[in-house]
């Protein structure tokens, strides 16, 4: 493709994106495809000679788009938001055009310094202590791994990096509702899955601190070395918040490293009402949240904050002492702040987003999502065929249809049937979890272009599907 062709197709692609967003509500949120259907439409062998770009784009429209799950659809209510916005798309455009490597200051000074600046903007926006410094990681999973590795190295005086494990057996703590990325991190860090203690939760799905302390005592008595506790600021299942202040006290008392996973909910800290959470985060060593979930910045962009920068750098740096220069004292070389050497220029889209929306604009969006979740909760409670299964703390409503008079098994079966019917319609998309053994439908609100009408109409659709299922149940006497 030469530059004239690039100019032509560049305009075409922007036009396609514009039409995509104009018409996005006409797409089924979840595609109606079966496994391998797309794969079979793709040639088994790569083309030997270059193809016409028009033909490639036609295949994109005919084969790829019909197999896409539309995360930016305003009736996408599954999992969690992974929202984007027009300034973010344009930022990503420019990043891919400039295509710099942002591993050290010299390989792109502006990228490094913009990252330093926007991460401090973010820190101020969420109102946490200036003891924290921030860096962009690819995902919350990576951030949590980086945190646990830093804890491991600091605790062992950086000896495990040097000579591997000797006999020490570390333990790590999180709640039973904590995200699977913690288990993954514990496996990768060489600590061992069996040494992850999943502490039981209370009725609100938050960690029982009394049981955390008991478990730590028990492990110490058995010769194990408690290393780190991970608190959840918003579990993935129900957005439960662990008693993060109390966990901080326990962590301090037993000398544990303290990481807080706020992957989705952390964005809500930009709102003034969450003062308490800010104080709790300030008691942690590290904190992560994802602007790529609920802050209109397209994947990937995970904001990782750490207090002990020295410990982080000593864990990850690869520059031998004799190669250090005076400039290193003044600048950040982000290759030493995490796992990757090569790094994308992710600060640009975040900068575009923050400046285009403004902090107040971002706050307005998030508080609307939270307000609508509460309103939806009220609507669900008004229909006594349904029940709410967890506190609505932020933007996620956990509910199910009661199907009164049916056995637990039948209730699960029928709720699954309801969920499948809604998802198959293409009108909206939901995912489920299990809370206290109960099959739970999650209504997660956070897409950039969702408004109350999308939510309310979808709720009415759920009600009518439920009526259909109840009628059929009565007919077939399930
Ligand atoms: C989504 C989520 C994660 C994982 O985020 P990635 O950025 O995809 O790794 C971790 N923890 C919680 C609580 C989450 O909701």
Q: Kindly report, residue by residue over 344-402, the tens digit of the pLDDT.
A: 999 999 999 999 999 999 999 999 999 999 999 999 999 999 999 999 999 999 999 99
Dump pLDDT digits (tens) for 389-408: 999 999 999 999 999 999 99
Residue 323 has pLDDT above 90, yes or no: no
- Angle among Cα 239, 240, 242 to the nearest 5 degrees reads 135
Distance 260 CA to ligand 1 centre (A): 12
Ligand 1 atom nearest 290 alpha carbon: 7
Q: Answer yes or no: is pLDDT of 478 > 60.
A: no
Q: How far apart are CA 290 and CA 82, in angstroms?
A: 9
For 68-123, write each residue's pLDDT tens digit: 999 999 999 999 999 999 999 999 999 999 999 999 898 999 999 999 999 999 99
Does ligand 1 come within 6 angstroms of the Cβ of 236? yes
Per-residue confidence (pLDDT) for residue 227, from 0 to 100: 98
Q: How confident is the model at residue 477 (pLDDT cuts 50, 70, 90)?
A: low
Nearest CA-CA partner of 284 in 229, 240, 234: 229
Q: Please give the average per-residue pLDDT across 41-47, as a whole number.
A: 97
Beta strands in 262-374 (DSSP E): 286-289, 302-306
Is the minimum distance from the CB of 298 to ligand 1 under 6 angstroms?
no
Q: How many A from CA of 275 to the centre of ligand 1?
A: 23
C-beta separation of 419 from 432 below 8 A: yes
Cα–Cα distance for residue pair 239/30, rounded to 1 Å? 24
Q: How far is the CA of 179 from the centre of ligand 1 (A)?
A: 7
- Average the pLDDT over 24-40 and give the result: 96
**What's the confidence (pLDDT) of residue 70?**
98
| DSSP secondary structure string for all residues of 391-443 | ---SSEEEEEE--TTS-HHHHHHHHHHHHHHHHHHTS-B-EEEEETTEEEEEE
> For ligand 1, what atom is nearest to the CA of residue 234?
13
Alpha carbon distance 396, 78 (integer Å)? 10
Res 320: pLDDT: 60
**Residue with the nearest Cα to atom 2 of ligand 1?**
263
Average pLDDT over the chain, rounded to an integer: 96
Give the pLDDT score at 475.
Answer: 85
- pLDDT tens readout for residues 208-219: 999 999 999 999
Ligand 1 pocket residue status of 150, Cβ below 6 Å: no
CA 443, CA 458: separation in Å to the nearest integer?
10
User: Bridge partners of 441?
Assistant: 399, 432
Q: Is 420 exposed, middle or buried (0-12, 13-18, 19+ CB in 10 A)?
A: exposed
| Most ligand 1 atoms within 8 A of CB, residue of 141, 206, 268, 301 to mutate | 141
The pLDDT-based confidence of 322 (bands split at 50, 70, 90) is low
Alpha-carbon separation of residue 403 from 11, 315, 406, 407 (angstroms): 53, 54, 6, 9
């Amino acid at each position: 493709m030469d530059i004239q062709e690039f100019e032509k197709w560049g305009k075409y692609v922007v036009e396609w994106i514009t039409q995509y967003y104009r018409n996005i509500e006409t797409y089924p949120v979840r595609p109606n495809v079966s496994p391998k259907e797309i794969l079979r439409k793709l040639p088994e062998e790569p083309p030997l000679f270059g193809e016409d770009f028009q033909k490639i784009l036609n295949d994109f429209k005919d084969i790829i788009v019909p197999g896409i799950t539309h995360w930016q659809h305003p009736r996408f209510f599954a999992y969690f938001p992974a929202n984007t916005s027009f300034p973010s798309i344009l930022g990503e455009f420019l990043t891919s055009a400039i295509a710099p490597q942002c591993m050290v200051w010299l390989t792109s000074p502006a990228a490094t310094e913009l990252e330093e600046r926007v991460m401090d903007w973010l820190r101020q926006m969420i109102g946490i202590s200036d003891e924290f410094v921030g860096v962009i990681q690819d995902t919350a999973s990576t951030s949590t791994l980086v945190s646990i590795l830093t804890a491991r190295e600091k605790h062992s005086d950086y000896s495990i990096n040097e000579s591997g494990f000797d006999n020490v057996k570390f333990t790590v703590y999180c709640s039973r509702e904590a995200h699977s990325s913690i288990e993954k991190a514990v496996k990768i860090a060489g600590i061992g899955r069996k040494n992850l203690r999943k502490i039981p939760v209370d009725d609100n799905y938050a960690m029982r601190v009394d049981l955390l302390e008991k478990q730590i005592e028990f492990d110490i008595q058995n010769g194990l070395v408690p290393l780190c506790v991970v608190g959840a600021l918003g579990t993935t299942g129900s957005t439960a918040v662990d008693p993060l202040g109390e966990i901080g006290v326990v962590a301090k008392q037993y000398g544990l490293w303290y990481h807080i996973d706020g992957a989705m909910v952390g964005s809500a800290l930009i709102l003034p009402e969450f003062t308490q959470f800010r104080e709790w985060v300030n008691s942690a060593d590290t904190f992560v949240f994802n602007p790529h979930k609920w802050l209109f910045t397209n994947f990937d962009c995970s904001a990782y904050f750490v207090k002990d920068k020295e410990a982080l750098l000593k864990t990850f740096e690869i520059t031998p002492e004799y190669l250090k220069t005076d400039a290193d004292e003044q600048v950040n070389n982000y290759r030493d702040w995490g796992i990757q050497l090569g790094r994308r220029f992710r600060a640009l889209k975040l900068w575009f987003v923050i400046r285009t929306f403004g902090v107040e604009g971002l706050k307005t969006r998030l508080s609307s999502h939270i307000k609508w979740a509460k309103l939806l909760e009220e609507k669900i409670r008004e229909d006594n065929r349904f029940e709410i299964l967890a506190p609505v703390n932020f933007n996620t409503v956990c509910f199910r249809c009661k199907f009164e008079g049916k056995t637990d098994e039948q209730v699960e079966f029928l709720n699954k049937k309801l969920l499948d019917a809604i998802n198959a319609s293409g009108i909206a998309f939901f995912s489920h979890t299990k809370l206290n053994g109960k099959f739970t439908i999650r209504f997660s609100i956070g897409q950039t272009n969702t408004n109350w009408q999308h939510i309310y109409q979808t709720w009415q659709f759920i009600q009518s599907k439920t009526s259909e299922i109840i009628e059929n149940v009565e007919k077939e006497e399930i």
